[in-house]
Amino acid sequence: GGNGVVAVDITPDTGQVVLRGLAVGRTKVVLKRGKGRVGVPVHVKDWAGYPPERVSLKVTGNPAPGQMVAEAGLQALWAQTRVNPGCRVRFDGGLPDIPSVPSGQSLKFSLPIKISGGDDYYPVVRRVPIEVHSLQLEPVEPNLLLVSNRPERVDQDGVLLEYTFTNKEPCRLMYSHLNESPGRRNLWVNLQNPTSKPVEVLIGWTYAGPNRNEVHTGHSAAVRFLDQLGKGAGYVITLAPRETYELAYHDMGPQDLVSGFVNLRILGGEKLRAEVISALAPSRNDSRNMERLGGPFNPFKIHPHGVFAQPWFEEWIDFKAGDEPVSVPYGKSPWLIDFETGLPNTGNFGVIYRYNFVVTNPTRQSRQFRLVFNPVSGPGAGTFLVDDQIVEADFRRKGVPATIYQFTVGAGQERTVKLVTVPEASSNYPAQVEITDQ
């Protein structure tokens, strides 16, 4: 017998013995003939893992940023690699420096992968080709906002947020959590296909942290999100029926904060379940039998949680040379309301604000105009996408303004300046943007 490690087949006519491996491990097969008896040690080994022969990757953006393409290629390679129990995957050498991919064009590069294990496994060392195609896809405004920020300080294992969205619900997930535990904590963002058919989804994911500097983490997350939003950048994956895809994994030290944004849009298929879960390290990414967490609502602390409809505001502002300065607030009521609990998203975190400043100069000389950020409710930072360019205002005290953009309008001319912003973690709201020619 082979103790479940090997099967022994003997050909009666020739006495030929054939051993077939059933599982990795060691055993001894005893062969007998007449009075003869011999024990044959057998060691069944497998490859440590099985990476794909190649990876095909769809991306979006005008152009699709090279760093995002490289990161998406790594994510796809990891997702498509089967790793045997107890074996480890390494991607040595860092991400390659590849160029951006214009819409409608293609690119090829490769990524190294090493998979190793114990004595029962042969190591695998390969370079896997990545074939990239940039789709020509018109952007769609998300009509749902999923916010995972309560409890903000996590000291229990459990599910922090879960929601199943359909192909008619492009959505944005914002998550921001701090590890309140004395030890390391894992946080995952997963997508699950609960259906019997494949689902193709476009993902735009950015994050900042883990880091103990809450202000820096919140500001960096907003900068990266708006930069990606302005470029229309994302990548496409296909989830097989009943498959779970690990979208994000964060290893957080004590008092570390992580903040991220994920834009999700189903391109083919019916629906997906998004979840944010956390567990003390070391732990497995498995939400089965996990408690559903959710701290009590506190109107004096801004830590929203839930599902909110129409997560954007847009306004047109007319301004002409010589007018008194005009201020537009953001991160102020009316708050979006969670349609499952009726609780507000105080501060409207994760909500997009779009302002279109229509500026006219009826005079006979060119005039200078300024856009000014002012944290009028308390200390805060600001991140803005102004005419598709990222502009930042550093963290500052309440009421200390900062000029974020200057432009000129010629005599008798008109110009429209488009500004996009989002309330960011660890800043105070409402804040305001002012347009002036003073």
User: Can you give the pLDDT at residue 37?
Assistant: 84
pTM of the model: 0.85
User: Can you give the pLDDT at residue 296?
Assistant: 54
Choosing from 274, 309, 344, the residue where a domain stops is 309
User: Can you give the pLDDT at residue 2?
Assistant: 60
Both 427 and 333 in a single domain?
A: yes
Identify the residue whose tokens are 């009666």.
12
| Cα 229 from chain centroid (whole Å) | 13
Strands 431-436 and 326-330: antiparallel
Distance CA 373, CA 375 (A): 7
Yes or no: say if 147 and 74 are a contact pair by the CB < 8 Å rule.
Answer: no
Q: What are phi and psi of 78, to 5 degrees?
A: -65, -45
Distance CA 177, CA 304 (A): 11
Which residue spans within 296-348 are E strands per DSSP?
Answer: 305-309, 312-320, 326-330
Both 290 and 248 in a single domain?
A: yes
Distance CA 149, CA 162 (A): 12
Both 215 and 109 in a single domain?
A: no
Distance CA 141, CA 209 (A): 26
3-state secondary structure of 332: coil
Both 352 and 431 in a single domain?
A: yes
Any domain includes 139: no
Yes or no: say if 266 and 272 are a contact pair by the CB < 8 Å rule.
Answer: yes
Both 162 and 288 in a single domain?
A: yes
Question: Could you list the mean pLDDT of each consecutive 10-residue stretch along the chain, which spans 438 residues?
Answer: 78 82 86 82 91 96 93 91 92 89 95 93 95 93 91 91 95 95 96 97 94 90 93 94 94 95 96 96 88 62 74 96 95 87 86 96 95 95 95 94 96 96 89 94
User: If you ran DSSP here, which 8-state letter would residue 269 be given?
Assistant: S
Any domain includes 399: yes
Yes or no: say if 176 and 258 are a contact pair by the CB < 8 Å rule.
Answer: yes
When divided into structural domains, the chain yields a total of 4
User: Can you give the pLDDT at residue 300?
Assistant: 43
Both 410 and 388 in a single domain?
A: yes
3-state secondary structure of 80: coil
Both 205 and 265 in a single domain?
A: yes
Both 156 and 273 in a single domain?
A: yes
Both 164 and 286 in a single domain?
A: yes
Structural domain containing residue 414: 312-436
Both 54 and 81 in a single domain?
A: yes
Yes or no: say if 43 and 3 are a contact pair by the CB < 8 Å rule.
Answer: no
User: Can you give the pLDDT at residue 30?
Assistant: 83
Both 168 and 269 in a single domain?
A: yes
Both 106 and 161 in a single domain?
A: no
Q: What is the CATH number of the domain that holds 202?
A: 2.60.120
Distance CA 327, CA 372 (A): 9
Any domain includes 105: yes
